[in-house]
Amino acid sequence: MKKHLLYILPLLAVLSCEKAENGQGNNQDPEKPTPASYTVAGKVEKGPFVQGSSITMATMDAKLNATGKNYTATITDDAGTFSFGTQEFDSQYARLTASGYFFNEVKGELSKGTLTLSAIVDLSNKKSVNVNLLTHLESMRIQKLIGTDGKSFSDAVKQAQEELLTCFEFQQYASTDASQFSITSGTDEAAALILISSIIQMDRSEAQITEWLSKLASDFAEDGQFSDANKEQIFKDRELLYAGLSEISQNIVKRYSELGIYVTVKDISAIVDWDGDGIVGNETLKEGESVTLSPATIEVPAEGGHFTVEIKSPVKVYLEQPNHGSGYLDVTPPSVITPGEIFGDSFYDGVQNSPMSYTKELKDKILTIDVAATQNWTPTSSEIDIYVFSGEKVATLSITQAPAATTEIPKLGDIGKMAMAGFMNVFAQAMTMNNDADKLYTHLKSNPAFIAPMDPNYSSLYDFWSYFYQSINRLLQIKDYDASVLSVYQEYFNIYSAIAFYNMVVFWGDVPYFTTTPSMDNPYLPRTRTADIFSSLENQLKAAIEYAEEKQNVALAEDPNDALFLSKDVARIILAEILAYQGRFSDAIPYLQAATNKGHYGLDNPENPIERRMDIILAVRSQNGTKSSLVDDRYQIIISYPDMLLLLAECELKQGGKNNPKQICNGIENAYGLPLSEGTIDDIKSIRKSLSLPGYFAFLKRNGLAKSEIGLEDYQLILPIPQRELNNNPNMTQNPGY
């Protein structure tokens, strides 16, 4: 009998305890709390609250009604640590409320204002108690589940936590009590808490965080869910943070390191199903993985068509780059004025140059493209980029569409005419100064300030240099725009560029040379060797001769289109001048003969109006000028028929020519009433002086006459670089002797 009693007594004791816990077997009120001794300590984390922040604890009964007992403590370090110590509390249930400054993990700095967070906990089964955003958001829900729905404390906490973490799509961590979550634990739960804290933080002020938390907590308390609007905002904020997750992690590690605490943070991006495909952490390509397109390029006829591309990828792909920012970290790039904004849509006349028109659709990694017909003058290209969720571009489909059938080069439109007229105005100033310098330096005109030896500080010298580069820069701006759109005027622009650079080389030798607008990041260009400049100009002019129209050139163009569309002859003659200047006289002859044999030009009376004169091939309006008997300074001649004939005669003489040079010279002398000569180099020199033809300095230099004719020293065969240019350009050097 005693043996059986040994088994029964422990059983009765257990049953007695169970009844006591359920309020049975005694007269104790089940809602009346039982005093007990507990150790209460933990952390307050948003980021961590800073030292000196206050925390209070108010005990509650099982229905979460306040007992009236309050306890206070202070956060003792910048890691958010607090402790109420071990003492007797009148209930196992309590609300902890902390207020203070905290570390903002998104911005990586201490908050500028305070924040209040709370937690409802059961002290009887806690080794530590942490107060964080999760405990704060679930508090009102726990109260409703117990007070209204009659749930037990443990069931209410379990349900509220599962519902809350599900709202943030972190239901896999619902088994861990939210009051045990800590951003310093280095776990997946820690990463989840950091992300949720950062989502709530974003770029909100402390007052805005308080307002947002109150709104979310009230919303969540009703039914354990967030409204569609609040959920949309949460996930919008989450995506905006994606690009800044690494920086947030670094901010946390750095903060704790400064406190002497080593912490690790798991890859936050790897714990979320960012793309909603039901798989966590598969949003980026792993090492060795790639995305391929079949085909990777598409050739589209002018009439358009339907095309299909297979995308092979181990992860989900997108046609538009996912817009991930880092909240306040997003920086709007400075606005840049594009050439299109400068020149506008009416640069060309009647030419459609629209972007390729197509639709695209991606479904089950099959990309379909429908390209519309084109009316564009040139081939049109486009690219379709393929992205993964991270925003990384992983593949590109290239599409090229053939142009519509056309044969004529388009004319300049209204904006194009304005741009060309603007260039011609500056170019005319440059050529006016060029022709004046040519006459002054060779003593065909008199100005004591513009004779050898030249002073680098002479203001007109800098103006001469500056106007040439102003005209070149204006020309290249237009050229760059055309190159980016239709690229139909390049060869014509190159003819003007050759005229400018050739004349600069004659006067200064090596000069900075460029064929596109210099970058603003590096505008200071060094000098280029004359041989390299001439080599480039020769290639450009040969291409222009092939491209330009075989016609009589409009000598003094009033219409910008006439000014733009130079004839083959202009390119031929400028190329012949460059070749002759290098002593390549035999190479120059075919180009001069081709220009003379077409019958487009002839010797003419200089008294005739320039619009009807046959002896002017290219000229520009002068800024200032007067008309005399043989020279009309109201315009500046760049190329004339007598000039071309005399250059041909000069080249023939250099190659041992007998009759042709004399015939050429006699023909010019007859036309202008000059004494007949034998057609020697000295005779050609005399005719050039009499007619005051441009390019006299170049003629003297290539024939070795400059020193004796003008009285120059060797170093004075080129002018000094203007001192202002030397001051402005650190890469510029002075010509020898100055």
Residue with tokens 């290639």: 539
pLDDT at 322: 79
The domain ranges of the chain are: 36-271, 292-401, 417-622+712-728
Mean pLDDT of 139-155: 94
Cα–Cα dist 267/648, whole Å: 78
Please provide the CATH number assigned to the domain covering 417-622+712-728. Answer: 1.25.40.390
CATH level 2 (architecture), domain 292-401:
Sandwich (2.60)
pLDDT digits (tens, 9 = 90+) for 282-324: 777 888 999 999 999 999 999 999 999 999 999 889 999 876 6
Q: Which residue has the higher pLDDT, 599 or 532?
A: 532
Give the model's confidence band at 590: pLDDT under 50 very low, under 70 low, under 90 confident, else very high: very high
Task: Please state the rounded mean pLDDT for residues 464-484.
Answer: 95
- Calculate what percentage of the chain has a pLDDT beyond 90: 70
Long-range contacts of 590-596 (CB under 8 A, 24+ apart): 591/545, 592/644, 592/647, 592/648, 592/651, 593/648, 594/568, 594/569, 595/568, 595/569, 595/644, 596/644, 596/645, 596/648
Q: How many CA atoms lie within 13 A of 115 on its CB side?
A: 34
10 vs 559, more confident: 559
Three-state helix/strand/coil letters over 96-158: EEEEECEEECCCCEECCCCEEEEEEEEHHHCCCCCECHHHHHHHHHHHHHHHCCCCCHHHHHH
pLDDT at 584: 97
pLDDT band, residue 622 (cuts 50/70/90) = confident
Over the chain, what is the mean pLDDT?
88
For residues 137 and 230, give the distance between their C-alpha atoms in angstroms, rounded to a whole number. 13
Distance of CA 533 to the CA centre of its chain: 32
CB atoms within 10 A of CB 109: 12
The pLDDT score that the predictor gives to residue 624 is 60
From the list 395, 396, 398, the residue with the least C-alpha distance to 379 is 398
Q: Which two tokens stand for residue 625?
A: 């000028």
Q: Which residue has the tokens 């020519």?
A: 657
DSSP code for 370? E
Note the pLDDT tens digit of each residue in 244-259: 888 999 999 999 999 9
Q: What are phi and psi of 87, to 5 degrees?
A: -160, 170
- Specify the range with the lowest mean pLDDT, choosing from 230-244, 312-326, 411-425, 706-720: 312-326
Q: Rounded to an integer, what distance in angstroms lies between the CA atom of residue 79 and that of residue 84? A: 16
> What pLDDT sits at residue 325?
54
pLDDT score, position 271: 83
User: What is the Cα–Cα distance from 49 to 207, expressed in whole angstroms?
Assistant: 16
Count Cβ atoms below 10 Å from residue 692 Cβ, excluding itself: 17
DSSP annotation of 48 reads: B
Q: Which residues contact 236 (CB under 8 A, 6 or more apart)?
A: none
Q: What share of the chain is helix, strand, coil (3-state, %, to 5)?
A: 45, 15, 40
Whether the predicted pLDDT of 369 surpasses 50: yes
